[in-house]
């Protein structure tokens, strides 16, 4: 356990928070520093002020996983920051309770700054949680409903599933990611319900699941048969948002190709 590093990390995170960010009203005596007070963190984490003070002064015992989780919540740590806290305390961080289904504002803004590129963000369970207009034009208007799940699209035919050359490959990609999610979030009720639905309704899903496929996100090409523009040859590249276990899928075309001209036209129409 790196007591000094843990103490410094706790002090640094406490100093970086403002009372309004954790639902506290800044009342009482004037604050010498803009961050939270020790007693405020202790109250938010449901522990004694003395115990928390000893942790910050590198005098405390090795905190349990329950204590570390309480501190992570009190200090509003991201998943990556939470894992770092556990490492400093000499422990392995257990998985979070559930997959993150919110999109960070800077990621959402990025989707609107990608000319002639379709982009979607998916959570660990393949729910589409953000998209831009070009992606909606390419992948189907039902994205606008905000309830699209690509695993349900692929295996249950829900939504506007369009014929693609990568349909079979994508099935294995979906199952590989859902297996990872099941390991990381065993207590996520939405994920549990999704897996139960897929197992009950899709023989293909059950067969692929039994093979335990492994897939690393990266670059793929596929041919998409679009009902209005015809056949499109697309490049799909994945960027990771590791702190939230999310993926940003960028859909582009080779420069100067017929598909690139089609994307240019669709981008202008959806702008």
pLDDT in tens, 181-196: 998 888 889 999 999 9
- pLDDT tens digit sequence for 8-25: 999 999 998 888 777 776
**Domain-terminating residue out of 61, 88, 115:** 88
Distances (CA, A) of 87 to 56, 65, 68, 94, 241: 16, 11, 10, 11, 20
Domain count, the chain: 2
Domain boundary pick from 88, 116, 148: 88
- Domain boundary, last residue among 63, 88, 113: 88
Contact 185, 192 (CB under 8 A): no
Cβ(213)–Cβ(175) below 8 Å: yes
186 and 123, same domain (yes or no): yes
192: number of Cβ within 10 Å: 15
Tell me whether residue 196 is in a domain.
Answer: yes
Claim to verify: residue 81 and residue 111 sit in the same structural domain: no
Beta-bridge partner residues of 222: 234
Q: Is the pTM of this model over 0.85?
A: no
- Whether residue 116 sits in one domain with residue 84: no
Instruction: Judge whether 250 lies within some domain.
Output: yes
Q: Are residues 42 and 147 in the same domain?
A: no
Q: Please check whether residues 130 and 190 belong to one and the same domain.
A: yes
Residue 96 belongs to some domain of the structure: no
Query: What pLDDT is stored for residue 147 in this prediction?
Result: 84
Same-domain check for residues 63 and 151: no
What is the per-residue pLDDT for 186?
Answer: 82
Residues 191 and 107: their CA atoms lie apart, in Å, by: 23
Q: Is residue 27 part of a domain?
A: yes
- Is the separation of the CB atoms in 252 and 235 below 8 Å? yes
Q: Are 215 and 176 in contact (CB under 8 A)?
A: yes
Distance, in Å, from the CA atom of 23 to the CA atom of 196, rounded to the nearest integer, reads 37
Query: In this structure, what CATH number is given to the domain that contains residue 10?
Result: 1.10.260.40
Give the pLDDT of residue 243: 75
3-state secondary structure of 144: helix
Q: What is the pLDDT of residue 98?
A: 78
Do 119 and 202 belong to one domain? Answer: yes
3-state secondary structure of 255: coil
Between helices 49-56 and 3-16, what is the axis angle to 10°? Answer: 110
Check: CB of residue 262 under 8 Å from CB of residue 229. yes
Are 23 and 110 members of one domain? no
The confidence score (pLDDT) of residue 255 equals 95
Within-domain flag for 100: no
**Residue 123 falls within a domain, yes or no?**
yes
Proportion of the chain above pLDDT 90, given as a percent: 56
| Residue 50 and residue 124 in one domain | no
My answer on whether 111 and 154 are in the same domain is yes
CB 38 within 8 A of CB 52: yes
204-222 pLDDT, tens digit each: 999 999 999 998 888 999 9
Q: Which residues of the chain have pLDDT under 50?
A: none
> At 193, which CATH number?
3.30.450.180
44 and 78 part of one domain? yes
Residue 128 lies in a domain: yes
Asked if residue 231 is part of any domain, the answer here is: yes
Structural domain span for residue 46: 3-88
Residues 110 and 83 in one domain: no
């Amino acid at each position: 356990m790196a007591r000094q590093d843990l103490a410094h990390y706790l002090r640094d995170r406490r100093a970086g928070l403002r009372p309004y960010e954790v639902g506290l009203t800044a009342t009482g005596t004037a604050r010498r520093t803009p961050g939270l007070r020790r007693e405020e963190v202790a109250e938010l984490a449901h522990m004694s002020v003395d115990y928390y003070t000893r942790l910050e002064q590198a005098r405390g015992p090795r905190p349990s996983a329950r204590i570390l989780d309480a501190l992570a919540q009190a200090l509003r740590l991201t998943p990556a920051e939470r894992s770092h806290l556990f490492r400093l305390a000499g422990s392995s961080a257990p998985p979070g309770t559930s997959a993150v289904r919110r999109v960070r504002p800077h990621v959402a803004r990025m989707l609107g700054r990608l000319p002639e590129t379709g982009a979607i963000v998916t959570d660990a369970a393949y729910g589409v949680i953000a998209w831009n207009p070009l992606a909606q034009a390419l992948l189907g208007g039902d994205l606008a409903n905000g309830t699209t799940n690509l695993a349900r699209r692929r295996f249950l035919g829900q939504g506007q599933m369009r014929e693609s050359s990568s349909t079979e490959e994508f099935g294995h990609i979906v199952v590989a990611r859902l297996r990872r999610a099941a390991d990381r979030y065993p207590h996520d009720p939405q994920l549990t319900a999704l897996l139960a639905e897929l197992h009950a309704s899709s023989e293909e899903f059950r067969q692929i699941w039994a093979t335990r496929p492994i897939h690393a996100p990266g670059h793929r090409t596929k041919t998409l048969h679009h009902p209005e523009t015809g056949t499109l040859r697309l490049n799909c590249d994945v960027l990771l948002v590791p702190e939230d276990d999310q993926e940003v899928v960028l859909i582009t075309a080779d420069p100067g190709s017929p598909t690139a001209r089609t994307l240019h036209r669709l981008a202008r129409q959806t702008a």
